[in-house]
Chain A
Amino acid sequence: MALADITTPSQETEQASVQGSGWRRSLLIAVPYIWLLVFFLAPFVIVLKISLSDVVLARPPYFPTFDISEGWQGFVAMFQAFDLENYVWLTEDTLYLKSYLSSLKIAFISTMIALVLGYPIAYALAKAPKEWRSTLLMLVILPFWTSFLIRVYAWIGILKKEGVLNYVLLWSGIIDEPLTILNTDAAIYIGIVYSYLPFMILPLYAVLEKLDYSLLEAATDLGCSPFKAFWVITLPLSVSGIWAGCFLVFIPAVGEFVIPDILGGSSTIMIGKTLWVEFFSNRDWPVASAVAILLLIMLIMPIILFQKQQEKQAEASQ
């Protein structure tokens, strides 16, 4: 008994160092949580609070506002003034539902186009001779060196009736009449796919580059055609890259405001634009906040799905 209670000095230090590293470990874990708290949860709570408030003509234009000088009672009073009428409002007008659906549709189609375009590019990048890869990768990233806004504006010059694209098509005799692309949905798709294509290519490239190509050699040796080998080996092994790329394109595309505003026509409704109108034209911050909260919830669903999928992937690889 007594012997067991005696701890040698070396054991003691070992224990202390384990305790120390535990303390350090929790600090390390705390950092990302603090990050989440400050940059995600706090803004979310603020927006949620505004979405439960009422609109008034004041600065800021909603009520109640939290007055810290009134202490606990002020806090309670604030809660009593909250209600869900802004969310009820969103169900009463089909505009909001239509905006959400239209945004989802545009984001989905853009993501699919980006995938179809991005996959071969990423594949070619991964298959390129090693000494070329960094240069080619640089070319994918290069557009980011110019402001996003300027690149979207540049598309006006390309797509407009007297623009570069129509000029080339007319000159080459492919069309007789200039095409109207600017201010249509087609221009929105072009803008979104162009802007977010690198986000599709990069994760795909990361996966395809690590792919064990001896598997393909084995398949060929066993008489599998290259086409079939792609479908049964390359594609399934790059699924995680496909998911990552699709989410990186889909999520920003749903809330996109700048591209439809600059390139799209007035008849396209998207949730980003509807939110802008609530916020700026109606000065109705509470309803705008309610729109934003619903959008967030809609986007969190696919993110959770993605997370689940990633976890499964990790388990499978173990």
Chain B
Amino acid sequence: MISSFKSKLTVTLVSAAMAALATSVAQADGTINVYNWSDYIDESVLKDFEAETGIKVNYDVFDSNEVLETKLLAGTTGYDIVVPTGSFLSRQIQAGVFQKLDKDALPNLKNMWSVVSQRTSIYDPGNAYSINYLWGTTGIGYNVEAAAKRLDGKPVDSWDIIFNPEILAKFQDCGIHMLDAPTELFPAALNHLGLDPDSHDKADLDKAAELLKTIRPYIQKFHSSEYINALANGDICLAIGWSGDVFQARDRAAEADNGVTINYIIPKEGALMWFDQMAIPTDAANTKGAHLFLDYVMRPDVIAKASNYVVYANGNKASQAYLDAEVLEDAAVYPDADTMENLYVTTPYPLKIQRVVTRAWTSVKSGQ
């Protein structure tokens, strides 16, 4: 009895030890660290990926390209996949931050949409280093009732609401937020002035700064993520924001049933179109796992799930069959051909001009 108990115990112990060893090996082999924007995925995508591949996903979030870039430039981030915006990606590729993708490991590349790939190749020639995750526009989010009251029923359809101080002043009492992202606000101001939104000319940028200063007194806060909840709760009524973020505010308000109705528009004068690209840092520990994840995300039904959840368009043509009608048919998410004409893209600022823009932005924000 005793001996059989002993041997049983030994067997149990040995198998337990072996199991522990096996899982520790699997862990080392099967973990990927993903660094993505906040409020930017349907969590079930990660769970499904884990269930299917056995690779554990550590998911971490940021809310500004600057934070991501600083981590990347410092090196050894520990991330296997990061998601910078196109113009930042382009500069980071030059700095040698990313590794080329192994396209043989990415059969789902065939699903991608040439309309988007063409534009992303401005930042990443030949899309050698990155795939498009989601894309969107930088436009105007507003509280429908508050706007109707202040504009006497006139529609919100133009940048005039933001850049004409007389109109903007009407919204001051109910709260206005603006993205804390000079690389997106300067192009909008330049576009409104009839200048090239992608201008890197100091004189042009100074003019844009002057325009931004005239509207500064009416802005309550410059912040890149707080406006989602602030719009949804009715704390503010107007924001320059990212398309999908405003839609999330709309959905949260509808869920809370608090009498707040939020809408997003791409103004008729056009808006910035941006692309968030998934890429693998050169020092990624699990390159293989990262490729598996990228390929998984490029499955039509998977990326459609993300798009349906966060209401951002994606660069995957095949996924459009899986998209909710309200996402695919909304011109503010998937712009129609006319709107598409007016959308513009920007290229990264050289270091000196970046400094001019940042300094001007500080002086817009602080009046110093």
A→B interface (CB under 8 Å): 55, 57-61, 93-95, 98, 160-162, 183, 265-269, 274, 277, 279-284
Give the CA-CA distance A268 to B97 in the complex, in Å: 34
Given contacts A267-B367, A279-B70, contact A59 B75 (CB under 8 A): yes
Interface SS of chain A: loop
Residue of B nearest to A269 (CB): B366
Interface contact A160-B235, CB-CB below 8 Å: yes
Residues in A with CB closer than 8 Å to B70 are: 279-280, 283
Give the CA-CA distance A284 to B70 in the complex, in Å: 10
Give the CA-CA distance A270 to B70 in the complex, in Å: 21
Give the CA-CA distance A268 to B365 in the complex, in Å: 9
Residues in B with CB closer than 8 Å to A283 are: 66, 69-70, 73, 351, 354
Given contacts A59-B95, A160-B235, contact A280 B73 (CB under 8 A): no
**Given A59-B72, A265-B221: 15 more A-B contacts, CB < 8 Å:** A57-B91, A58-B95, A61-B95, A93-B359, A95-B359, A95-B363, A183-B221, A265-B220, A269-B368, A280-B67, A281-B358, A282-B355, A283-B70, A283-B73, A283-B354
Given contacts A58-B96, A59-B96, A95-B362, contact A266 B368 (CB under 8 A): no
Q: From residue 85 to 111 of chain B, which have CB atoms closer than 8 A to chain A?
A: 91, 94-97
Given contacts A60-B73, A60-B74, A61-B73, contact A280 B365 (CB under 8 A): no
Question: B222 within 8 Å of A by Cβ?
Answer: yes
**0 or 1 for each of B38-56: is its CB under 8 Å from A? (1 = yes):** 0000000000000000000
Question: B116 within 8 Å of A by Cβ?
Answer: no
Cβ distance A266 to chain B, nearest Cβ, rounded Å: 4
Cβ distance A104 to chain B, nearest Cβ, rounded Å: 15
B→A interface (CB under 8 Å): 64, 66-67, 69-70, 72-75, 91, 94-97, 180, 182, 219-222, 235, 351, 354-355, 358-359, 361-363, 365-368
29 A-B contacts (beta carbon < 8 Å): A57-B91, A57-B351, A58-B95, A59-B73, A59-B95, A61-B73, A94-B368, A95-B359, A95-B363, A95-B368, A161-B235, A183-B220, A183-B221, A265-B221, A266-B366, A267-B367, A268-B366, A269-B366, A274-B362, A277-B362, A279-B70, A280-B67, A280-B69, A281-B182, A282-B354, A282-B355, A283-B66, A283-B351, A284-B351
Residue of A nearest to B68 (CB): A280
Q: Which of A61, A93, A266 contacts B365 (CB 8 A)?
A: A266
Residues in A with CB closer than 8 Å to B72 are: 59
Residues in A with CB closer than 8 Å to B75 are: 59-60
Give the CA-CA distance A277 to B364 in the complex, in Å: 14
Residues in B with CB closer than 8 Å to A266 are: 180, 219, 221-222, 365-366
Residues in B with CB closer than 8 Å to A93 are: 359
Cβ distance B114 to chain A, nearest Cβ, rounded Å: 30
Residues in B with CB closer than 8 Å to A267 are: 365-367
Residues in B with CB closer than 8 Å to A94 are: 368
Residues in A with CB closer than 8 Å to B66 are: 280-281, 283
Residue of A nearest to B355 (CB): A282
Given contacts A59-B96, A267-B367, A280-B70, contact A162 B358 (CB under 8 A): no
Give the CA-CA distance A284 to B368 in the complex, in Å: 20
Residues in B with CB closer than 8 Å to A279 are: 70
Q: Which of B221, B222, B358 contacts A282 (CB 8 A)?
A: B358
Residues in A with CB closer than 8 Å to B64 are: 280
Give the most central of B64, B66, B97: most A CB within 10 Å: B66
Residues in B with CB closer than 8 Å to A162 are: 235
Given contacts A95-B368, A98-B368, A269-B368, contact A55 B96 (CB under 8 A): no
Give the CA-CA distance A61 to B72 in the complex, in Å: 10
Cβ distance B96 to chain A, nearest Cβ, rounded Å: 6
Give the CA-CA distance A71 to B98 in the complex, in Å: 29
Residues in B with CB closer than 8 Å to A280 are: 64, 66-67, 69-70
Residue of B nearest to A160 (CB): B235
Give the CA-CA distance A162 to B368 in the complex, in Å: 30
Closest 10 CB pairs of A and B: A280-B66, A266-B365, A281-B358, A266-B222, A61-B73, A269-B366, A282-B358, A267-B366, A57-B95, A280-B70
Cβ distance B234 to chain A, nearest Cβ, rounded Å: 8
Give the CA-CA distance A57 to B350 in the complex, in Å: 10
Cβ distance B279 to chain A, nearest Cβ, rounded Å: 14
Residues in A with CB closer than 8 Å to B95 are: 57-59, 61
Interface contact B73-A269, CB-CB below 8 Å: no
Cβ distance B216 to chain A, nearest Cβ, rounded Å: 9
Residues in A with CB closer than 8 Å to B366 are: 266-269
Cβ distance A60 to chain B, nearest Cβ, rounded Å: 6
Residue of B nearest to A58 (CB): B95
Give the CA-CA distance A94 to B180 in the complex, in Å: 22
Residues in A with CB closer than 8 Å to B96 are: 58-59
Give the CA-CA distance A281 to B66 in the complex, in Å: 6
Give the CA-CA distance A280 to B70 in the complex, in Å: 6
Residues in A with CB closer than 8 Å to B235 are: 160-162
Cβ distance B222 to chain A, nearest Cβ, rounded Å: 5
Give the CA-CA distance A94 to B95 in the complex, in Å: 31
Give the CA-CA distance A95 to B96 in the complex, in Å: 33
